[in-house]
Amino acid sequence: MPRRLRIRCVLVTGNFPVSRPRRLRSSAPLRDLAAETQLDVRHLVAPLFVREGIDAPQPIASLPGVVQHTRASLRDEVRQLADLGVGAIMLFGVPSIKDSIGSGAFDPEGIVQLSLRDLADDVGDRVVLMADLCVDEYTDHGHCGILDGPAGDPHTSVDNDATLDVYARIAIAQANAGAHVVAPSGMMDGQVGAIRAALDGAGHSNVGILAYSAKYASGLYGPFRDAVDCAIVGGGDRKAYQQDWRNGVREALAEVQADIDQGADMVMVKPALAYLDIIAAVRAQVNVPLAAYHVSGEYSMIKAAAANGWIDHDAVATEHLTAIKRAGADVILTYLARWFAEAHA
Ligand code: PBG
């Protein structure tokens, strides 16, 4: 029994008495009993992609194990996630036609709306159906809003207020299709208030809002942009509307509070691991459920290093998700949701 040997060794040779934390680490059942943080599959949200006009699921090279679904394969996947106890899904659409305002996002026959109807029928009473509410997957220029000038022109910017009108239409279309929660991710000022008013005005007072409140202009979204076939025209970026990652809690709390004041039911910090300080501060400050998005790049880094044999996938994946929870997230959006649910089934 090596463990007993080790304990005896400490007792005999040490000048120090065994400390309380050390004693509580001495067996797996004690460690489980004393663990402060538990990951629960019911608190995980699986981000999923559904693509218009394909007849077989398409792998995403930079997101191993994640696919662009067909309507049919999405239904199968979400039924299985429901059976595994995963709490929610976050649906993203990949339309076959993109335009300047992203009209596929609010078309009642758009791919996300059609899929939400399928899922509401299949599992609407077992899984929370969330829909990402943004236009970057649907615009030909790749920005999260409506432009005030020619795409690619350095003087062109995203028109905040024109974008809010489009977001309101998307919210109503998603709610009509059966979304339980809409999740605005475009970082427009006033988006939560505009969406809340639109939902209430359309008789959807029960549809909730998960606001991507503290969302940073992160390099970690790279694989996601492959997943939704999104490239910003002219090689631009989102730094004029997403947060600067040199800024911390002061700016994040202002963004979060604005969203709560406008009616957000839940708020989000995104990405997760490089922003644990933000997660902890927001958790301490607000009284609504806090979500954190373990984003595509965070997932891909684990997969790539594990594929090289450089790290142990399961150990690092569990450690990372647990750290996000420990920092204060109540809910975690993660491409690892299915893996975690299967590993703990
Ligand atoms: C915007 C949106 C993005 C992600 C979720 N919603 C991309 C972006 O802001 O550029 C990224 C998610 C991820 O990287 O996993 N609709």
Give the model's confidence band at 1: pLDDT under 50 very low, under 70 low, under 90 confident, else very high. Answer: very low
The pLDDT-based confidence of 13 (bands split at 50, 70, 90) is low
Q: What is the C-alpha to C-alpha distance for residues 130 and 149, in angstroms, rounded to an integer?
A: 32
Q: Which residues are catalytic?
A: 215, 270
Q: Is the dihedral of CA 244, 249, 254, 255 positive or negative?
A: positive
Best residue for ligand 1 mutational test, from 134, 188, 226 (most atoms within 8 Å of Cβ): 134
| Strand ranges for 204-324 from DSSP E | 208-215, 266-270, 290-294
Structure-block tokens of residue 148: 């005030």
What lies within 8 Å, CB to CB, of 18 at 6+ separation is 7, 10, 11
> Quick one: pLDDT band at residue 12, thresholds 50, 70, 90?
low
Asked if the model's pLDDT at residue 4 lies above 80, the reply is no
Average pLDDT rounded to a whole number, residues 25-53: 97
Encode pLDDT of 234-276 as tens digits.
Answer: 878 999 999 999 999 999 999 999 999 999 999 999 999 999 9
Average pLDDT over residues 328-340: 98
pLDDT in tens, 100-134: 999 999 999 999 999 999 999 999 999 999 999 99
Query: The pTM is what?
Result: 0.94
Distance, CA 215 to ligand 1 centroid (Å)? 9
Q: Which of 68, 133, 185 to mutate to test the pocket of ligand 1 (most atoms within 8 A of CB)?
A: 185
The answer for 57, left when phi > 0, alpha when psi is -120 to 50, beta otherwise, is: beta
pLDDT averaged over the chain?
A: 95
Which protein residues are within 6 Å of ligand 1, measured from CB?
132, 134, 136, 144, 185, 221, 224, 238, 295-296
Give the distance (Å) from ligand 1 centre to CA of residue 224: 6
Q: What is the pLDDT of residue 6?
A: 53
The pLDDT tens digits for 290-325 are: 999 999 999 999 999 999 999 999 999 999 999 999
Q: Is the peptide bond before 271 cis (omega within 30 degrees of 0)?
A: yes
